Amino acid sequence: MTIYAIIIATLTFGAIFSVLTLSLNLQYARGGMINFGTVAYFAAGAYAYAIFTQEPPSGLDQYRFGFDMPWYVGFLAAGVASLLFALVTGWPTLRLRGEYLALTTFAFAEVFHSLLLNERRIGNGSVGLANVERPDPTTLGMSDTVGYALAAVVLMLVTAFVFNRLLKSPFGRTIDAVHDDEIAAQAVGKDDARIRLQVFIISAIPIGFAGALYAMITTLVAPAMFTAEVTFFVWIALVLAGEKTIVGAILGAMALVLFQELVKGVPFETVRGAQIAASVEEIVTGILFILVLRLRPWEKLSKRNAS
């Protein structure tokens, strides 16, 4: 039963964060764009979902809009919100390269976080939007946790499939061309700025959907849930399992969430035990990260497969 719970939690949250690593993989490993603001697109999706499905404000609520629409409308709105946010942030920033782009996207994410926190008319400020509407998987004859784990895995697989097809298409080869040699790509008539913006926008859409699913699972959206920690978690996951491959992006996120679940899988019956486990978790995560980067197991694996 413990193993079952660990598997379900890993699949649910691992798959959601995999969608983010897949998108980051497309932007960074293939598009050459360092995005340190991933969490903002995730938050845009989650908030859009909550606002579209939330009832209009009443009583102590301070948010201005709640459209009380069905979950699927909110889900679509999440993708659109993330797309629009990518368009707004991508257009001025994608002329930048390397660390300048990284810092600018990070700044955009911080500005967005600050806006959600301080402008209470968007989503109740630090209180957030609670009791977020969500579909009930039990109507399909499956348990709640299994239903959402399945939904997360489906979203992850669809994202992986679409990105895989995209990268294998002529458009994918154009992305690689722009990434490998921008001047050469321009010389054969490719508009590199436009292609980079397209990649940025396309990769943001599934992040928005993942945000909506995250809001359904947590039933709460609040600024405290969308901090830079999420961005760094996704980056660590991407680096951990090796860049450039879709499988690697998925495995990295899954492995990180699995590790968290394994540490927490042991039930503690004393306060001291739980305190020690909580402290040890972050230390061990750091040590493991250093070891994996030092030993680079994925490189050995690919060499073994090649031979």
Give contact residues for another protein (rule: CB under 8 A).
1-5, 9, 13, 59-60, 114, 117-118, 124-128, 130-132, 134, 144-145, 214, 217-220, 222, 224-225, 261-262, 264-271, 273-275, 277-279
Structure token digits, residue 166: 């995209």
DSSP calls for 206-230: HHHHHHHHHHHHHSEE-GGGSSHHH
Report the C-alpha gap between 261 and 118 in whole angstroms.
33
CB hemisphere CA count around 144 (13 angstroms)? 7
C-beta of 210 vs 261, nearer to another protein: 261
CB of 219 to another protein, least distance (A): 4
C-beta of 232 vs 268, nearer to another protein: 268
Structure token digits, residue 152: 């997360």
C-beta of 67 vs 268, nearer to another protein: 268
**Residue 197 neighbours by CB under 8 Å, 6+ apart:** 87, 90, 91, 94
Of the candidates 9, 11, 48, the one whose C-alpha atom is nearest the C-alpha of residue 204 is 48
C-beta of 183 vs 306, nearer to another protein: 306
Taking the alpha carbons at both ends of the chain, their separation in whole angstroms is 40
CB of 248 to another protein, least distance (A): 19
CB of 4 to another protein, least distance (A): 8
C-beta of 99 vs 144, nearer to another protein: 144
CB of 296 to another protein, least distance (A): 20
Rama region for 33: left / alpha / beta (φ>0; ψ in -120 to 50; rest): beta
Reduce the secondary structure of 65-117 to three states and give it as a string: CCCCCCHHHHHHHHHHHHHHHHHHHHHHHCCCCHHHHHHHHHHHHHHHHHHHH
C-beta of 1 vs 183, nearer to another protein: 1
C-beta of 117 vs 239, nearer to another protein: 117
Residue 69, amino acid: M
CB of 110 to another protein, least distance (A): 11
CB of 180 to another protein, least distance (A): 36
C-beta of 47 vs 261, nearer to another protein: 261
CB of 246 to another protein, least distance (A): 23
CB of 7 to another protein, least distance (A): 10
**Residue 210 neighbours by CB under 8 Å, 6+ apart:** 16, 17, 19, 20, 42, 45, 155
DSSP calls for 136-167: -GGGGTS-HHHHHHHHHHHHHHHHHHHHHHHH
